Structure 1
Amino acid sequence: MLSKQKVVTLGLQHVLAMYAGAVVVPLIIGAALKLTPLQIAYLIAADLFTSGIATLLQVVGTRYTGIRLPVVLGCTFTAVGPIIAIASSTNLATAYGAIIISGLFVVFAAPLFGKLLRFFPTVVQGSVVTIIGLSLIPVAMTNAAGGDATKPDFGAPEHLLLALGTLVIILLINRFFTGFIRAISVLLGLAVGTIAAYMMGMVSFANVATASWFSVVEPFYFGTPQFSIVAILTMILVNIISMAESTGVYFALGKVTNTEVTNKDVVKGLRGEGVAIVLGGIFNAFPYTAFSQNVGLVSLTGIKSRDVMIGAGGILVVLGLLPKLAALTTVVPNAVLGGAMIAMFGMVVASGINILSQVDLRKNENLLIAACSIAVGLGSATVPTMFDQLPTLMKMMMQNGIVTGSLTAVVLNILLVHTNKKVKTTPANAISEAS
């Protein structure tokens, strides 16, 4: 049983791991729509607050909603382009109306999506988890080099040294310490890396100084929701992509925590996600999805308690109410965060490989499923511009490596396994078929 102090500390570690991904969405959308600094500050506060509520809904769970696994929910980057496009052609109220309706769609479509689980045998699960990790590696390396490839100092030696130093600290702590110290190795690595960056003059507290002390998140801050069929269909497509991604994250967490993820679990998890998306629309935040980077942190630390995620959810809620405290977490340089990400995302890849090790890859069908799905997923993630000439909605889907890789794995499993008359599938082994 973890003490309250340990729960808070470990929860803070999870918040720091996902924080950059959480705040970058409101920053990008706010800048693209030319919102005022006050409005952007509200977007960040609303995002953090709602992310915390969404995480608590998933982790605590009810009879009908919540995966009840150590998962953190954050805004999906897939929604950035569509929200900007909708708000630019109409207004933000229309974008949030579409988010609310699309969230309700996820709630009601969850049972149908859950019935597709028989098409996710072990070989598909292993491939999807591997794809999740591989598609995140470029994010880690970009951050390690400074975060913004358009800036002159991208890849500067000081960025690379900070990333390497942070990674080495994490590895040394895992090598020479045990127990709680090892469990917070990422947090300690981030702290040491940030201190080193401060000594190098690479940390600014300007945002902390200008941030307000307290802010209350208001429903419908940008006006009463408005509704457009095109906008609603667009956001539904975004959330279908998110549902596929979250399902992969659920399976990854199930393997990491030694928990069997059933049809019922996935349905409850997706319902919880749908409720979170509705809340995002009400509080003028964003669509929410399970954050895959936190899976790597669970795997790296070995701490699988849901209490830690409850602590993380509570911290996010507090950060949403206290902008100055929220701004303090933004002082961690991208390079330092990138060093930590290398270890975390690498653990996700290792988990996927471990799952695939349980599959008989001597079978040509299994080998083809793993090989082609990983290749397609990694290719889509690393060369997204190959789909630039496709229609907008198709491009949005194809540029997500997790989605393309998952779809490839599922389709190949159907073609090579389920349509093979020599393969006998019974209800008892439907989930473990092809393992």
Structure 2
Amino acid sequence: MQQLTHEVSHHKAFVLGIQHLLAMYSGAVAVPLLIGTALHFTSPQMTYLVSIDIFMCGLATFLQLMRNRYFGIGLPVILGCAIQAVAPLKMIGKTYSIGTMYGSIIVAGIFVFLIAGVFAKIRRFFPPVVTGSLITVIGLTLIPIAVQNLGGGTATSASFGNLRALFIGGITILIILGIQFWGKGFIRSIAVLIGLIGGTLIAGMMGMVSLKPVAQAAWFHFPQPFFFGTPRFALSPSLTMIIIALVSMVESTGVFFALGNLLDRETTAADLKRGYRAEGLAVILGGIFNTFPYTTFSQNVGLLELSGIRTKRPIYWAAGLLMIMGLLPKIGALATIIPTPVLGGAMLVMFSMISVQGIRMLGNVDFTDERNPLIVAISIGAGLGVAVYPNIFQALPHALQLFLGNGIVVASICAVGLNALLHHKEITAPTDNSR
């Protein structure tokens, strides 16, 4: 695949930034829509919630991009709402109060910032056999989401998998593949964007696109700290959100290593510490501005692989555009008109590429060592199994369910634990990269 790692012009970076934005937009707005609906927010409250969420996605991304001695990993990464926080936040909002929900987010952000240095010391426990397994699981666990969107978005619906949805999703995939095979240079690098636009235009001709969200959106919205009231603090909700924050940190670790591998750059403990701190700051700001916890979005890793352009300039554009869209909801609503099957088709290509990257990393593992196949097999098998049936841990205490109900976390525990157990004699030798 063509790799363009040099700096691109501003107008090309702008277009690439739009592509990154559209790739993550549905995941970013899903969290406020799910939580706002569950807590019976009014229409003005929902408008604020979605707008400020998009604005904060941009700001959180800037924090991660702007590498300095204190925070920011400086990799081409986009931050968005942590989807694993939806169920706990709905529970806290209903059982306690909205103020307690945001207070627990602030506590979790402070926790992440404070333990960043300690958590970063796990670097030596992530050789290729671990990171390759983890990145493979990240991609494989995202694929069902893509397929669900491809079929129409709601698997329990009677219309799920209807021919129109499958047709338009398939057309989107074919457009992306066609551009990848026959496109050249910059056109090839924006294959996903062209697929999204082409799929949406064809869907519009079939009556599957509505401009109503754009017409109903407000022209301007400005962020307000504590829009829904003063934060409140309680022990149980705070501990719950700390567990969710740890889950996000594990996922982000896999993404950081995946990006380092893409850029052929070693991800050091210092890099990890700055990355975790940036996420901690983003989570704190999420609580202050009454949005949600923010974490590294893995879907954009697949887009970097597909486009071949891996500089930060397009991500800066994406972050800036997200902030503008958060201030101008009518512009932000334009991204919501993309039909779900079109997004599903694009997601299927991107998420699959993440798994391919993990498989490539596993290619560097010495499988003549009989311990390594066991590590890969058990970690990937356990991770995928839990992703399909997270209720397997329903007999455990609720706090453990929150932690172990995530397939990526289970895969990480298995891979790191087995590697430390089976390679305990070599674990102190960081120069051995064959494991």
Give the structure-2-normalised TM-score.
Answer: 0.97
What SS is found at the alignment partner of 1:74? strand
| Residue 385 (structure 2) aligns with | 379
Match of 1:394 among 375, 394, 400: 400
- Residues 143-167 of structure 1: CA deviation (Å, up to 9, x unaligned): 1001111222110011111111100
Give secondary structure in 2 for the equivalent of 1:289: strand
In structure 1, the gaps of 5 or more residues are none
Query: In the alignment, which residue of structure 1 is the partner of 2:4?
Result: none
How far, CA to CA, are the matches of 2:164 and 2:186 in structure 1? Answer: 30
Distance (whole Å) between structure 2 residues aligned to residue 204 and residue 152 of structure 1: 21
Find the counterpart in structure 2 of residue 429 from structure 1.
Answer: 431
Per the alignment, residue 3 of structure 2 pairs with: none
Question: Percent identity of the aligned residues?
Answer: 49
Paired position in structure 1 for 2:301: 295
Matched ranges for 1:199-238 at <5 A:
199-238=205-244
Distance in 2, Cα, partners of 1:297 & 1:336: 16
Note if contact 2:224-2:289 (Cα within 8 Å) is conserved in structure 1. yes
Relative to structure 1, the CA distance from residue 130 to residue 44 in structure 2 (aligned partners, 3 Å threshold; closer, same or farther) is same
Partner of 1:174: 180
How far apart, in 2, do the equivalents of 1:399 and 1:330 lie? 30
State the distance in 1 between where 2:387 and 2:426 align: 35
> Aligned equivalents of 1:88 and 1:21: distance in 2?
23
Corresponding residue to 1:114 among 120, 130, 140: 120
| Match among 271, 279, 285 for residue 273 of structure 1 | 279
Q: Is the 8 A contact 1:144 1:335 kept in 2?
A: yes
Q: Deviations over 1:229-265 (max 9, x none)?
A: 1111111111011101100110011111211101110
Computed over aligned residues only, the root mean square deviation of the Cα atoms, in angstroms, reads: 1.1
Q: Is the 8 A contact 2:71 2:277 kept in 1?
A: yes
- Note if 1:141 corresponds to 2:147: yes
Q: How big is each residue's C-alpha offset from its partner over 1:390-431, in whole Å with a ceiling of 9 and x where there is no partner?
A: 33222222221111111110111111111xxxx44555516x
Q: SS at 1:108's partner residue?
A: helix
Do the aligned partners of 1:138 and 1:382 also contact (CA within 8 Å) in 2? no
Match of 1:256 in 2: 262
1:357 aligned partner, one-letter code? G
Deviations 1:184-229 (A, max 9, x none): 1000000000011111111111111110111101110011111111
Cα offsets for 1:62-117 (capped at 9, x unmatched): 21101100000001011111111111112111111111111011001011101111
- Partners of 2:409 and 2:427 lie apart in 1 by 26
Asked if the contact 1:166/1:193 (under 8 Å) is kept, the reply is: yes
Query: Are the counterparts in 1 of residues 124 and 427 from structure 2 also a CA contact under 8 Å?
Result: no
Give how far 1:60 is off.
Answer: 1.8
Q: Secondary structure at the match of 2:295?
A: strand
Question: Secondary structure at the residue paired with 1:55?
Answer: helix
One-letter amino acid of the structure 1 residue matched with residue 325 of structure 2 = L
Conservation of the 8 A alpha-carbon contact between 2:306 and 2:353: yes
In the alignment, does 2:373 pair up with 1:367?
Answer: yes
Find the counterpart in structure 2 of residue 151 from structure 1.
157
What TM-score, normalized to structure 1?
A: 0.97
Equivalent positions of 1:50-61 (< 5 A) are 50-61=56-67
Give 5+ residue unaligned stretches, structure 2: 1-6
Shift, 1:365, TM fit? 1.0
Matched, 1:190 2:196: yes
